[in-house]
A and B are shown apart, each in its own frame.
Chain A
Amino acid sequence: NAGVMQNPRHLVRRRGQEARLRCSPMKGHSHVYWYRQLPEEGLKFMVYLQKENIIDESGMPKERFSAEFPKEGPSILRIQQVVRGDSAAYFCASSPNALGATNTGELFFGEGSRLTVL
């Protein structure tokens, strides 16, 4: 399977616990994006990473949320001390490079990880 792989697909946590969401980009893709989708809403950008670097984290909440994309292994979105408002679908997308607006370069999305906080 050459697509973007996210796991777990579904995750249930109690308030105060930690959630870790993993994303393996498509083969050959070194750019990863995380988006959050609340029920019945569009996707909201969270963070853009390249290998070992955070490029744009303008959509990340200032507290409790962090992301990494190490040299080896998947990208991780980590949410500490989860609250009910963190319940959402978290999508990872990847692209092979950083393209300007004059190129097509659509993002390739994973199937999402659905976090439920009890």
Chain B
Amino acid sequence: AQKITQTQPGMFVQEKEAVTLDCTYDTSDQSYGLFWYKQPSSGEMIFLIYQGSYDEQNATEGRYSLNFQKARKSANLVISASQLGDSAMYFCAMRGAQAAGNKLTFGGGTRVLVKP
């Protein structure tokens, strides 16, 4: 069974500063994928970034980067230069090699509020 844990229910960040969102996972699969999604107040789920378990480099997408520490089973999301539009819920998710298709397991989420 796979499990995703996000220990920060909510956090404030000052505009233009960086913020790190924690995510730890548990799986017995050797091959797996890790994802981060953003859910603004409007409700849609927006894909942000992906990290494969065999990727040697940390993934980056614009202001988003994923701090992947395989031995610690952590996949923290770093948002640099926060903007007011970054205020949202953020979900870490995982797909294991044994999962059917693209079935994802999600964490409980972290609510980020960016202060001007």
Contacts and interface: CB of A to CB of B under 8 A. Distances in A.
Contacts of A35: 106
A95 to B, nearest CB: 5
A102 interface: yes
Contact of A91 (B4, B33, B45, B103): B45
Given A42-B108, A100-B97, A56 B32 contact: no
A109 B33 contact: no
Interface residues on B, range: 20 to 34
B101 A98 contact: yes
Interface string B76-116: 00000000000000010101110111111111110000000
A56 B108 contact: no
Contacts, number: 88
Contact of B97 (A95, A101, A108, A111): A101
> 9 closest Cβ contacts across the A-B interface?
A109-B45, A56-B100, A42-B106, A98-B101, A101-B97, A106-B47, A43-B106, A101-B31, A95-B102
Interface of A: 31, 33, 35, 40-45, 48, 50, 55-56, 89, 91, 93, 95, 98-112, 114
Given A48-B100, A107-B47, 19 more contacts: A33-B104, A35-B106, A42-B91, A43-B45, A48-B103, A93-B45, A95-B101, A98-B102, A99-B101, A100-B97, A101-B53, A101-B96, A106-B35, A106-B47, A106-B50, A106-B102, A109-B45, A109-B47, A112-B44
